[in-house]
Structure 1
């Protein structure tokens, strides 16, 4: 068993024990991943300019469920959302291309086409307010280009811990839903002239009802293989996508002298979710990969979304 798979097993076991014991106080901390969830966050969706995204969802329950989903374009400073409803039958896998969208007039499912880059959130709206009908979905996204590069990653999954009516106001506080991670920990490849990586960050808290964008300061602690430690910070309004070399000079191999750098990200004023798009050199060509962070600690956040029904 690898260290990463071991961490996933421990997180899965902890989540199951917490639910069985009914201990709300034990739910504090970052969301356990790769378990059925009630809220999914996809931090990176892109379509256009030779790229597209395949979004994959699966209903792991034996009952039909609805999802209220929201695209937020990362290039829009107002962070306007585009909402839609998906209906999934029992045990149904479901997928679509972001550039094409999809529709089903029979069950009212419709995902509009999406262009540009940004994020996607999907929340379970159960047929009844029972807890076991909330934690039912998992998701994955693959961004691919005409040049053959791909970025594939698992959606952030937030389990719910209490039953009750779905209202569109989601408390990620360890009581209603799992908390957001306090810190994101990445191990990344330093930028070179032939391969550049990107850091994507977005605030965990969002108010999509009042269209009130959150601005959160990201504090980064960077540690090279040589033991050099550098700190830097920048503000994130809705969505940030930056080349590593633009975040700090030490993230360029020509400056920091390190092939690999560890990045610790913590938000001032609220937690983040994020992803690194690794740029990987292959001789004369160039590849990409999704680099998902490790989580450290937990912090509370709130998400407000308009009701679609």
Structure 2
């Protein structure tokens, strides 16, 4: 296979928000976006919580480029996750995704994300409850890692999600303990793919087109999800598809400058300085010039101070 069948833009907490989804889907190459997680504890959350994480719900659950967006939920109680999944669908989400992959310590301590990979039965109960609550024409998907401390439950966990009713499973090809350290174990995704009867999406360590092709070959998956690589190379989706060559640094600088013109929650400009610095932290993985730019602007606090350096 010389290109993926579909590409999903990954949920990345604190990074891939509505603004980033809008920018990256305008560049193109993505079939679906998944939101940062909505944290569910023991209540049906108000609409404003969903709109805060997924402002696209106000326009049919689509980005301005027309890319569908799926709300992701994170929690531990099946009944409350089910109730909030129904609400997400009612508000316009294109299916619901369940988070069993977040490696953050604060999330895991409160029994959310990857820590649930220690509890195969809990995964099954959550998936079953959500699947039964959500209309049958809507996809319920799950994102998982290969395990928490090791991979011993990887196959059992995937089976539990599939048997609980998952319509598809995205696998980040590392354990929680392995974090984001290379390599990604794409061959393990193939092992999972062979024991479940639902589509599997491969995720992890895709930075270039060749990485995507290697991932497809080793995982056996035609569908992939891009995360950090999409931030490091803004047109990675198009590059992976073979439609474009990697953006030049001047083009990336133009994109960084355009970032300042967006209005988020009515606070135009206030949001920009910290987030553009954060984005440069990813861009420097592909563009050496990004690190020099970061050093130049790191002490600057307003968009007005930063923008001249992007125009230089």
* TM-score range relative to shorter protein: under 0.3
TM-score by length of 1: 0.26
More strand by percentage? 1
TM-score by length of 2: 0.25
**Larger RCO, structures 1/2 (Cα 8 Å, 6+ apart):** 1
